[in-house]
Amino acid sequence: MKNTIKWLTLSVLVISISCTDLEIEQTDSNFDESLSGEFGGVDPAASLDGLYSDIRSQIETQEGLYALNEVSSDELLVPTRGTDWGDNGVWRNLHDHNWDPLHRDVKNTWNSFNQNVYRATLIIDPRSESTPQQVAEAKFLRGFSTFWIADLYGQAPFRTPDEGPNVNPSVKTRAEAIDFALQDLIEALPDLPSSGPSGSLNRATKAAANHLLAKLYLNKHIYLGTTADPADMTRVVEYVDAIKADGFALASGYFDIFENDVDSETILFTTSEVGPRIWNTLHYKQNSPDNEGGGWNGFTTLSEFYDTFEGDPNINVPESGQEERRGFVPTDGSNLGIGYGFLIGQQYDETGAAMTDRVGNQLDFTRELPGLLGNNEVTGIRLIKYHPENGGFTGHQILFRYADAHLMKAEAILRGGTSSETALGLVNELRAMRNANGNTAPLSALTEQDMLDERGRELYGEFWRRNDLIRFGKFSDAWQYKSNTDVTRVLFPIPATAIISNPNLVQNEGY
């Protein structure tokens, strides 16, 4: 018995020696200061890089923000071509305004842009000890993300760094969210670097903040449900003038702007690869040396939209009388055989030979489509702004461009803003600049429709069409392959997963 006791004592001793406190160690990840979960700040430089990198990938894809803003508009559609681009109906639902709270892009965009807001909030928090410029950049990015959430979804949740996952984020109304974004941008302005045209405009500058402020004030009355306030419109004019004061200006050579070069128009770009903008529209057999896989044969435009450009609607080869921005289809094998702007009719390869599709028929892009379903490989006019000749995967995607600012200023004046210039004058200034083939005649008067059409011709495929259509009251109209005129579609639904995870959110009307 004595032995037993000895032995038991020894066992207890052994166990107590070998007992561990069960704490994990920092070996391949950095733990927050306290394990209690209290926020102790993030590394500002690394986190800011991370945030830019996130936005870069959010912009790069043909899904997400691009799809919500472009495929839901009268500029783009992604027809289902037999087995291709069915993608469980996500593209058809976007174009005919039949999306629901389970929609992929509705969900992913909500998550990624709200995530941006939170990451920016962590950088802005004083405990992260960011420099004033880092705070300003984070505020710019938070303003940018908040703007899109408010614009797309009409409400914006918010979480402070100290609110853990068990806290349901509070929700800002659309007006509150826009005020919040405006405040961020105004606070950011003094500490942002000022820069004129340069190759490093992939980070926030004063000009980028001024551009976004102009955009917010131009749209503010839509968010408030009122008519345009002339004071706001004058602010738009002032912000655009501030951009101009930094050295930005309209640039000639429309398609050159989309090369990876310094030009006077680019105010903000991301290093997102432009591949998805190129290949999503080109046919499988249209190719560049750095992309053996060929195009993806997806995105096309509507003939109604194509017809808003000056020129013969049935042909778009060089010298066929079209305006510069409509581009052309080369017939002599130049530019890898791939056109600029709008690709319609027979396509040619890099030797100038007429191309065939995958089953051996002529590769002849049609004006019209049978509908969203039942398409073959050649239906629909393609549109391309970034060109594979400049690299099929170049990392240079424009977010803010001076021509947009220029047209915002014109529109603000049209809507009652005060300026020494006139809206018509500004629009004609741009049209004169784009007058490459002598077909862009000056307008004699400027209606709202003219303004919208000019924005469409200048800015197609640059993320703004849905926003423009809503501001001009046209988003709920019927157009080709879209019959749904439900006005509640001006807002996307709150994703189903978000409604479940945060009871403070209330689903938008109509969903």
Site for another protein in 170-189 (CB under 8 A): none
Give the footprint of another protein on residues 467-496 (CB under 8 A): 496
Q: What one-character DSSP code corresponds to residue 85?
A: S
CB 153 within 8 A of CB 117: no
**Rounded to whole angstroms, how far apart are CA atoms 363 and 295?**
13
Distance between CA 419 and CA 319 in Å, rounded? 38
Please list every residue from 254 through 273 that binds another protein, using CB under 8 A.
271, 273
Type of residue found at 338:
I
Binding residues among 445-464 for another protein as defined by CB under 8 A: none
Distance from C-alpha of 119 to C-alpha of 133, rounded to nearest angstrom: 16
> Under rule CB under 8 A, which residues in 318-377 are in contact with another protein?
356, 358-361, 370, 373-377
Helices 132-153 and 206-224 meet at what angle, rounded to 10? 30
Q: Which is nearer to another protein, 3 or 420 (CB)?
A: 3
Please say which residue, 6 or 231, places its beta carbon nearer to another protein: 6
Binding residue for another protein, selected from 65, 72, 75, 81, defined by CB under 8 A: 81
Place of tokens 């073959």: 376
CB count within 10 Å of CB 274 equals 25
Instruction: Report in angstroms how near the CB of residue 81 gets to another protein at its nearest.
Output: 8
Structural Rg of the chain based on CA atoms: 26
Backbone angles phi, psi at 396, to 5 degrees: -155, 90
CA atoms within 13 A on the CB side of 116: 29
Q: Strands 345-346, 364-365: parallel, antiparallel or unpaired by DSSP?
A: antiparallel
Shortest Cβ 15–another protein spacing (Å): 5
Q: Tell the smallest beta-carbon distance from residue 252 to another protein (Å).
A: 29
The one among 66, 110, 217, 306 contacting another protein by CB under 8 A? 110
Our CB check for another protein shows the closer of 113 and 400 to be 113
Q: Min. distance of Cβ 126 from another protein in angstroms?
A: 18
Binding mask 116-155 for another protein (x = CB under 8 A): -xxx-xx---------------------------------
315 CA to centre of own chain: 30
394: its two tokens: 């170049």
- Judged by CB, which is closer to another protein: 338, or 407? 338
| Interface residue with another protein, options 256, 261, 290, 509 (CB under 8 A) | 290
Q: How far is the CB of 501 from another protein (least distance, A)?
A: 4
d(CA 220, CA 237): 14
Q: Based on the shown chain and the rule CB under 8 A, indicate whether residue 241 belongs to the binding site for another protein.
A: no
Minimum CB separation of residue 215 from another protein in Å reads 21
| Minimum distance, C-beta of residue 80 to another protein, in the bound complex (Å) | 4
Burial class (CB in 10 A: 0-12, 13-18, 19+), 282: buried
Least Å from the CB of residue 22 to another protein: 5
Residues 126, 225, 292, 319: which binds another protein (CB under 8 A)? 292
The span from the CA of 416 to the CA of 234, in Å, is 8
* Contact string (CB under 8 A) for another protein, positions 24-53, x = contact: xxxxxxxxx--xxxxx--xx-xxx-xxxxx
Closest among 481, 284, 376 to 83, alpha carbons compared: 376
Nearer to another protein by Cβ, of 229 and 364: the residue is 364
Rule CB under 8 A: say whether 14 interacts with another protein.
yes
How many C-beta neighbours within 10 Å does residue 62 have? 21
Residues 6+ apart with CB under 8 A from 98: 92, 484
Task: By CB under 8 A, name the one of 133, 234, 264, 291 that touches another protein.
Answer: 291
Residues 372-431 that bind another protein (CB under 8 A): 373-377, 391-395
> Does 199 sit near another protein (CB under 8 A)?
no
Contact residue for another protein among 194, 501, 506, 509 (CB under 8 A): 501
The distance of closest approach from Cβ of residue 143 to another protein in the complex, given in angstroms and rounded to an integer, is 14
